[in-house]
Amino acid sequence: MTKKHILKFILFLSVFFITGIPAEGAEDDDNILVIGVSSIWSDNLAAARKDAISDALVKGIEDYLKTTLGSQGMINNFHELINEIIPGSGEVIENYSILAENESDKKYRILVSIKVNEKMMEESESRNYIPVKTMSDNGLFSFRS
């Protein structure tokens, strides 16, 4: 390879890594990316994978709630969130995709893209009397109950 070819190759790699290519299933801005983690017991990878997926789904719901309720909303509604909303949140996950998996140091880690059914989540929050913070068209947040 000539010096000119090497420089072109380096330029190509630089542009590639700067712009990046979205992973399959991660192109939707409404999706939440989270990493689920589980311990591997007795070399049972299937159970560890299942637990890591469950961990990721719970983290995704928590991220969604942080975004929609804000810090103060999380604090004010903590009891309802941990006892009502999060335990029953499986029904509000519209879809999820596993983007990557890794097993090392007796830990199973999984990168998941989650899509929350916002209408169902709002209904769940309303049933538990949790005001929902929403962003209006002008970019300002407001609360609705």
Q: In this structure, what CATH number is given to the domain that contains residue 67?
A: 3.30.1660.40
Residue 57, pLDDT > 80, answer: yes
Residues 6+ apart with CB under 8 A from 32: 60, 63, 64, 113, 114, 115, 116
pLDDT of residue 25: 45
Domain annotation covers residue 81: yes
> pLDDT-based confidence at 125, cuts 50/70/90?
low
Residue 101, pLDDT > 60, answer: yes
Domain annotation covers residue 11: no
Domain annotation covers residue 101: yes
pTM of the model: 0.67
pLDDT of residue 39: 96
Domain annotation covers residue 134: yes
Q: Residue 86: which domain range?
A: 25-144
Mean pLDDT of 19-48: 77
Domain annotation covers residue 3: no
49 within 8 A of 38, measured Cβ to Cβ: yes
pLDDT of residue 6: 60
pLDDT of residue 50: 96
Domain annotation covers residue 1: no
pLDDT of residue 68: 86
Give alpha helix (H) positions in 1-145: 3-19, 45-76, 78-80, 118-127
Of 84 and 5, more confident: 84
Alpha-carbon gap, residue 116 to 82, rounded angstroms: 18
Domain annotation covers residue 59: yes
Of 68 and 16, more confident: 68
Domain annotation covers residue 14: no
For the chain, how many structural domains are there in total? Answer: 1
Lowest mean pLDDT among 29-33, 75-79, 96-100, 121-125: 121-125
Residue 131, pLDDT > 80, answer: no
Residue 22, pLDDT > 80, answer: no
